[in-house]
Amino acid sequence: MRTAKRLHALPPYLFAALDRKVAEVRAAGVDVINLGIGDPTEPTPDKVVKSLQAHAANPSYHRYPSYIGALQFRTAVASYYYRRFGVAVDPESEVMALIGSKEGIGHIIWAFAEPGDVVLVPDPAYPVYRAHTVLAGAEPYPVRLVPERGFLPDLNNIPPAVARRAKILFLNYPNNPTGAVAEKSFFREAVEFCRQYDILLCHDAAYAEITYDGFVAPSALEVEGAIDVAVEFNSLSKPYNMTGWRLGMAVGNRHALNALGQIKTNTDSGQFTAIQMAGVDALGPEHDGFVAERRRLYQDRRDRVVAALRKAGWEVTPPKGAFYVWLRVPGPWTAEEFALRLLERAGVAVSPGSGFGEAGEGYVRLSLTVPDARLDEACRRIVEAGQQL
């Protein structure tokens, strides 16, 4: 049986490959602490769980959902955006429900990019941006993120000939995998760049609520005129511990959302309405305290990991956002070699930076989403293995 040629252009999906390797090592009897996946282990807020249980019993929600999302959910998203960012959007035309933000990010590429087009993809970055560009037959153009610029892309370095072929610019702040953040002034620059070259700005804001040291992440849509060129993808996964619920949203330019909707209506039938109704409860102001507690928890974990590694002589830059630590690999090892040795010798799984792009070589990504005691034990093992290596 012969598969499509497009599949051969894709590398193995980083996190699926990592899961398989972790399973192999665990099967050999090793106690593995998995810092490779950003998946909170704490439960979803109890009120949200109870809301789902109640709405799941409503027989009217057992039928096909709305393709673009229940109006109640889209209205709750619009209210959240106004409360959190001061951004006013029309819930009927400028908000769309997603089956997790990953789905919308992948599908919008199909709506705008085709063979011969360019998609501007940060390097390193969440692998989905590049993967779906390749699947759509377009060309991913890497825009390097380097520590000297705080892992912000230099848009002026993109050749005009490339920019004129570009259909989409992806940004992601707070950033996965580096933990970098962006000020509103940077988004103003990005909006102007996209307006100049008629490019759709796609901002992945999945970690907007996970920031540290008092920093408050802005929305790209806060920039005046951004809605003319931008769509922001957001998610309930990270701030509300709802990764398994698969509920996200796209907010912004109505033309872009309409195009995304054309792809979605021919691909999926929308998210279960009961889950959307539970999402309405999650997005209410009564859960702002829960989100603030998540920030305090992850900042405490960040500080403990940074302190433990620095004490052992590692050079570590504390992230300003997201729940990852972007760590330089010591010695002569590649990122993949070091990650493999940590797994085999220390029973700690981390993500090799090379899985996020060529510019990720020389780094590994550690997640802060495991319980405190396991995180402390993982740090102890990493330090011990690093000294041996």
The 10s digit of each residue's pLDDT in 226-257 is 999 999 999 999 999 999 999 999 999 999 99
Specify the pLDDT at position 217: 98
Specify the pLDDT at position 332: 87
Considering only CA atoms, which of 92, 99, 91 is closest in space to residue 276?
99
Specify the pLDDT at position 10: 81
What is the fold of 46-285? Aspartate Aminotransferase; domain 2 (3.40.640)
Going through 10-138 in order, the beta strands assigned E by DSSP cover 33-34, 95-98, 118-123
Specify the pLDDT at position 331: 80
Give the whole-angstrom CA distance, residue 248 versus residue 236.
Answer: 6
Q: 140 near 119, Cβ under 8 Å?
A: yes
Report DSSP state, residue 217.
P
Distance of CA 232 to the CA centre of its chain: 12
Give the whole-angstrom CA distance, residue 123 versus residue 157.
Answer: 14
Neighbouring C-alpha atoms within 13 Å toward the C-beta of 186: 19
pTM equals 0.96
Low-confidence ranges of the chain (pLDDT < 70): 14-15, 389
Specify the pLDDT at position 21: 82
Domain range list for the chain: 5-43+288-388, 46-285
The 10s digit of each residue's pLDDT in 42-64 is 999 999 999 999 999 999 999 99
Helix residue ranges, H only, 1-70: 5-8, 14-27, 46-56
Looking only at the bridges linking them, the beta strands covering 118-123 and 363-367 are unpaired
Type of residue found at 117: D
Q: Within a 10 A sphere around the Cβ of 255, how many other Cβ atoms?
A: 12
Specify the pLDDT at position 20: 84
- Class assignment of domain 5-43+288-388? alpha beta
Handedness of CA 338, 379, 172, 114 (dihedral sign): positive
Specify the pLDDT at position 14: 67
Specify the pLDDT at position 9: 83
